[in-house]
């Protein structure tokens, strides 16, 4: 596992979401739709953590007054 990349992701994510517990939960449990529905942790373990860094960097560099939010999977549709 690449602990360095997880730390880098966490540091970037904390710039978006200051709640450390929420960031940890996001890293471990939130599937990322734009990255094949894998979690940040899964991507990091597979050597693909730089994709998460790029995703967060894009969010942080968005122009305008929109406050960035950590990417979330869409909730399941109710039938």
For residues 69 and 79, what is the distance between their CA atoms, to the nearest angstrom? 27
- pLDDT, residue 1, reads 47
Confidence at residue 79, expressed as pLDDT on a 0 to 100 scale? 65
Give the pLDDT confidence score for residue 61 in this predicted structure.
92
Q: How far is CA 30 from CA 19, 40, 45, 65, 79, in A?
A: 15, 7, 15, 25, 23
pLDDT at 52: 97
Query: pLDDT 10s per residue in the chain (79 long)?
Result: 445 999 999 999 999 999 999 999 999 999 999 999 999 999 999 999 999 999 999 999 988 888 889 988 766 666 6
Length of the chain: 79
What is the CA 44 to chain-centroid distance, rounded? 11
* The pLDDT value given to residue 66: 82
């Amino acid at each position: 596992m690449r602990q360095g990349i997880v730390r880098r992701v966490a540091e970037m994510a904390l710039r978006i979401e200051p709640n450390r517990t929420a960031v940890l939960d996001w890293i471990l449990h939130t599937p990322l739709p734009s990255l094949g529905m894998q979690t940040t942790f899964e991507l990091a373990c597979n050597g693909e953590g730089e994709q998460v860094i790029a995703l967060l960097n894009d969010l942080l560099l968005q122009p305008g007054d929109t406050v960035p939010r950590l990417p979330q999977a869409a909730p399941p549709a109710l039938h």
